[in-house]
Copies of this chain bind each other. A is one copy, B any other.
């Protein structure tokens, strides 16, 4: 199982997710600016993986601060935080990790002299916690699945989208280890093809039986009784249980509900944004039209065709059967159940 974001003593290694599955290329980041560029260009993607990478970016930012006495330490660190925060707007794990890193630095004193050490420790802690949370999510989620489960997933919420193991695919991994998975339907997930490129790659490595489908086929298979449950990840979850996730998630959720099939969201508590009462306040990233008019560098549509490209959508909580967190399986009403997750987390970190 892959760990896509790695601390290497004095730099960060990331597997370039824009090149998979054709090539397995690792990129080296020596500065926070290089980490920010990798997030912006989706060489690292997936809400928890972005959080872990950004934390390591802050650890890289601390190194020149300690070495350069002309810098105001906090200003320099906040500049790095701001630069990393400006990369992508929707996933909240990014902001969560950055704020945690700055809090840790401030707690270590204002001189910045210890920051390289403590922020490296904190970034590695965030990384390792994420893997542990994914394993817990996987085990809680596996308990929800029937024997011989036929599972639909959308996008990639796998090891590649996290520090390792995955959220939605973490559930699939744990259930597979228990012999419970019969087939995984993989939505290809246009325009960026995370399903076809990344989820299919992970499932193939694990030897988990799967079939790739176009996004518009999921409804057909849900309607025909070919799927027992849907599991997806999340980029941000509001206090009421509304879920922002990859574009197309809302459609799958509606189609699951219409056909009486459970729709599960798997996410660590770092994905919760209890400052938002509903999903209406979640900013939706708009990406380049070229991602829709082109595929793998090839133009699909006539020259000059305009496109729209929202990268995420918001699934109202009423379509969500359960939210699987590292603290257990949360059920509606989510205002109450998600508050207990946040409370448990707060207790664990103070």
Contacts and interface: CB of A to CB of B under 8 A. Distances in A.
A94 interface: no
Given A247-B220, A251-B218, A201 B307 contact: no
Interface in A122-155: 154
Contact of A214 (B212, B215, B223, B305): B215
Given A21-B301, A212-B305, A313 B200 contact: no
Interface string A281-300: 00000000000110110111
Query: Interface size class for chain A?
Result: 35 or more
Nearest to A214: B190
Copies in the complex: 2
A162 interface: no
Interface of A is mostly: mixed
A188 interface: yes
A292 B214 contact: yes
A191 interface: yes
Contacts of A307: 211-213
A64 to B, nearest CB: 40
Contacts of A306: 210-212
Interface string A245-265: 001101100110010000000
Contact of A301 (B197, B251, B255, B301): B197
A189 interface: yes
A170 B115 CA distance: 66
A220 B258 contact: no
A293 B251 CA distance: 22
A193 interface: yes
B204 A313 contact: no
A310 interface: yes
Contacts of A254: 219, 254-255, 258
B216 A190 contact: yes
A302 interface: yes
Given A214-B309, A219-B313, 16 more contacts: A154-B216, A187-B216, A200-B305, A204-B305, A212-B292, A212-B301, A212-B307, A212-B308, A217-B248, A217-B310, A223-B250, A251-B251, A255-B255, A295-B295, A295-B296, A295-B298
30 contacts: A154-B216, A185-B308, A187-B216, A193-B300, A196-B301, A197-B301, A197-B302, A200-B305, A201-B302, A204-B304, A210-B306, A211-B307, A212-B292, A212-B293, A212-B306, A212-B307, A213-B308, A214-B215, A214-B248, A214-B309, A216-B216, A216-B251, A217-B248, A220-B248, A223-B250, A223-B313, A251-B255, A254-B254, A254-B255, A298-B298
Interface of A: 21-22, 154, 185, 187-191, 193, 196-197, 200-201, 204, 210-221, 223, 247-248, 250-251, 254-255, 258, 292-293, 295-296, 298-310, 313
